[in-house]
Amino acid sequence: MCGIAGWVSFDPDVPVTADVAQAMTATMICRGPDAEGVWTTPTVALGHRRLSVVDLVGGSQPMFFEHDGEVVIGLSYSGEVFNYRELRQDLLGRGHTFRTASDTEVVLHAYLEWGEDFTEHLNGQYAFALWDARTEELLLVRDRLGIKPLYYQPLPGGLLFGSEPKAILAHPRVRPAIDAEGFAELLGFTKTPGHALYKGMYELRPGHTLRIGRGGITVRRYWALESYEHTDDLDTTIAQVRSLLEDIVDRQLVADVPVGTLLSGGLDSSIITALAARRGPIKSFALDFARHADNFRADDWRGTPDAPFAELLARHVGSDHHVVSLHSQSLLDTTAREAVMRARDLPFDLGDGDTSLYLLFQEVRKHCTVALSGESADEVFGGYRWFNHPETVAAATFPWLAPPFGTGIAGPGSGPGESLINRGLLTKIDLKGYRSQRYQEALTEVPRLAGESASDRRMREIGYLHLTRFLPWMLDRKDRASMAASLEVRVPFCDHRLVQYVFNTPWAMKSFDGREKSLLRAATRDLLPAEISDRIKAPYPITKDPLYLDGLRSALKRATDGPAAPVRELLDEEALAAATADDPAPGYRTGTELILALDFWLRTYDVDLEL
């Protein structure tokens, strides 16, 4: 999937230097362990770390188009363009010639042919930087759904960019700092588009380009969700969803390295695995926890464990199935936890939800370089239970923050991430007001459809909020965990054609049989055993092992031991006492995970807190 980094400077007093460009690029080694390339002039640096997936020999980067021995266009590219074979044929017909079989070179020539409008022709998950020597301009491009990350930080007379914040933080002119707004964004679970939390740093928004030249910076949107009348009947809609899924999975299986699937035993990953298996033998990978059967208790979130369903689907389609079983000691291991936190560059509160994902990806990487995931089907097709909860749908906030579900992503008793944060600090940053402001901003973006009923309009809003504010958070999580293990994860349900089509499908069709994801079930029922096709949505698993919870509490005690602990000033002392007691009060698990992440972040990144 690769990692990119770079720097452009039009200030003659601050020329680009190779040593700094090299240092920035070196931070991306996990994203690209196979090769490195750094190209510099006094004005621009393009850095690249390569994870070889397509054209293993010819796809080295940065890649250039030259004329008379001079660089015309330079490209540092991360991701995959899944329609590159069709684009290549089109460009050959237009007179272009190719030296390699890589999708990178296709992107390069697409820009030469269509200019900045080449984004209209790309289908994939990508983030890249393109230097046009003819105009002395740098163009940054991010895919439509924001599957691949891309950050930037303007400087006087220039700009820094990278696949992750750490590439930008490696520049000597950047000091990591977070202000009150950044801290509210961290705690808010609002995933504001463009907000990178670090002061002065930004994410390029999904479906946007950024161009910087001597005249300054121009940001342009090239794609966004649109509202239009859905004219297909139910049977046609079901058939179209199936047709799109088959085409998408076929495209995303293309690679010159081993490809597998992530199989939880839920509906979404089972569909992807079943479709992949129709093309030939496929490896599938499932996560389980040691002693999980002993500790599992059905609750409102999860009625059944995953492992038996994953094994059922694997037998059904004949996949070469691997179960990765994790012990609590592995989840508490300092090395693994710190690797995840370094990958994220920011403190988040999923704890073992992140660590288990990283450890799973490490095992998958021993067998495959690419894995297909069922991520995003819930956001696209309305799979979370709050889609069908009237009070949540009507609440004047983001659905995942509204009662009765709140921020319980980790399940019952997990509590909100801010549960251990000092109450005075929460008042100072106005977390409640911040969430409300971001919610109102998001609503103003929703594309309207004339003549739509109030209920249909509200469900369109709910869908939009998930696709633009919830899904990006999930994609970031999966990207960082997979890239930390040098594994490329592809997300077929994020194909923009499918997303746009289903976004405009009326809610009555999406839930026509009274269940979540009715449309997706109907389109794929013939692929799956009935037990899986009819299975109720369950969230990503977390361990229920008491050994893990005891270890978590002990780690919190160590991190907050003494008034000099850097995280101590952020804490509510009464809540801390309750969370670290020998018989701890319930509801502090997520808050504990956040405090441990904050502690590591403050100690390791030497962040200035401007709160």
Catalytic positions, please?
A: 2
Three state DSSP letters for 256-282? CCCEEEECCCCHHHHHHHHHHHCCCCC
Specify the DSSP class assigned to residue 42: S
Task: Please report how the helices 471-484 and 352-365 are oriented relative to each other, as an axis angle in degrees rounded to 10.
Answer: 50
The single residue listed with the structure tokens 């893990």 is 548
Task: Please report how the helices 431-445 and 454-465 are oriented relative to each other, as an axis angle in degrees rounded to 10.
Answer: 120
Helix locations, 146-207, DSSP H: 165-169, 180-188
Count CA atoms closer than 13 A to 554's CA, side-chain side: 9
Q: Is 386 left (phi over 0), alpha (psi -120 to 50) or beta?
A: alpha
User: Distance from CA of residue 430 to its chain's centroid?
Assistant: 27
Nearest to 517 by CA among 388, 605, 349: 388
Helix locations, 134-223, DSSP H: 165-169, 180-188
- The string of DSSP letters for 267-334 reads HHHHHHHHHHHTTS--EEEEEEETTHHHH----SS-SS-SHHHHHHHHHHHT-EEEEEEE-HHHHH-H
* Radius of gyration in angstroms for the set of CA atoms belonging to the chain, rounded to a whole number: 24
Q: Are 348 and 354 in contact (CB under 8 A)?
A: yes
Q: Are 261 and 372 in contact (CB under 8 A)?
A: yes
Q: What's the rounded Cα separation, in Å, for the pair 453 and 444?
A: 18
The kind and range of the H/E element at 531 are helix 530-533
Nearest to 414 by CA among 553, 190, 593: 593
DSSP E strand boundaries for 133-215 = 137-142, 151-155, 158-162, 177-179, 202-203, 208-213
Tokens of 307: 């492992």
Residues 6+ apart with CB under 8 A from 64: 39, 71, 72, 73, 74, 75, 108
Residue 93: what residue type?
G
Nearest to 188 by CA among 375, 429, 352, 354: 429
Q: Are 357 and 247 in contact (CB under 8 A)?
A: no
